[in-house]
Structure 1
């Protein structure tokens, strides 16, 4: 097999990883909504992150004793991003339809792109996204059930933490071997949200059905998507990664319709479409930058063979 075939195959595999991540994440979120009345938003968040942390720690057993201070700092920042993104997003979907919450959340990365670029084309893409947001507002006014303003704020906060997640996950993927950084970040993030969800965690321990469902949410919304995304970031150019993630609002709308019976009218579909187009447009028209070639991330086995530095 020639080099081009291997590269094409690797890109196709990575693209499938991202699409699989989107489906797993959004359908896991739809299941989580069913647990909110019983366990509370923060209880579900704590269980999701806690279960995911235990699963990955047992499966991976990262060699944390040899981590450098730089690696630890990267993991801690990743943990803050995970805790903030998951908690605020769950607060959003507790008050908003799933597809709407994800669509609003996308404004975070779009605004970051425009702020860093300052080109007119990027401002135009952001303006297009805000037109989509305006359509959601029109739908809220014209429909019997209006959008919850607090839920909108939570979705915007989730978008801000999503920006931090994108930046920190890429750094952890390059600086920490294997998925050990993800495992430890989940441990720390679960500890960060636990004080807010203690009562929900206690309720789940005494009831097997919510306990099992929370475990399923952890697998679908944390273990599977985060592992797939970290692996894909090592194989895909950043712009391709972003384009594929832009499909999340569509997947979220489908999950909300299928599992939560949330209607998707023409205005909502138009709003989602505009935000997706804006996200893809920002990535496609991004100005190419010259970057120094980086060494590929080491594997766990390669890391174990390195001489230990005291």
Structure 2
């Protein structure tokens, strides 16, 4: 057993002071951190309980929305403004985990959940993310669930959150506070690719605390979250697609696409978006854009099928969004 102390923060400033201690970890819903402690992967010296902090959701700016990091996933998905203006986010949250986990998990904690790679959890396996410099057994092992984009020789694990994929497509911004003050980080820049340091998963500095996620005003058009998985309930994505599409007079006016289940972070499909803006809203154009996005993809022994699967899910999602706009 790894001994640790427990402290409950009364406000964000108290949380930051407690979080500055050596070996401190912030505890929200605990749906991932407690599991990692049980598996002896995480070894915090101090648990700083931040439940009850940053739990408000409020409208901001010209139609944007600020969601506190302490808001439970269930509450975020059920929020009236989220359901009306950002249904993509609600769909993504509801596609992930069980109702019991969503009732406990927080928005900030969801962003910080770690990979579900089996080798990461197996202390008999070599894993650079768990023990830097030991190697990556997934490279030659069972790697059906692993990354096809942005991976490295050091790590091919994927990032598991559904919510974060939707936030990436919605241009969300993460607000954090720390010893150096507050700063805003675009969601697409919050997580990092593995490179030679897969144990570093975000751009958070020591002691920094996520306080909110802010969504800009909702784009016009239609949106959808599609998740392809091995079973219909409580499985992580093989491939997921979060898409927002606006079509005018048969032409793509605006598009946002992010992918899950394919990389070490939520993958914003910049190449596909660039290919589609101003292009005809046709299945052929969608397929070509998907192929452009997946051109750099590299499959392993067991997961090469994800390349074609991702192309098909992107294409089909955009075709269906176009049809919805034509019949409204």
The alignment's TM-score, normalised by the length of structure 1, stands at 0.26
Greater percentage in helix: 1
Normalization by structure 2: what TM-score?
0.25
Select the structure with the greater relative contact order (CA < 8 A; seq sep ≥ 6).
Answer: 1
- Which protein is richer in strand relative to its size? 2
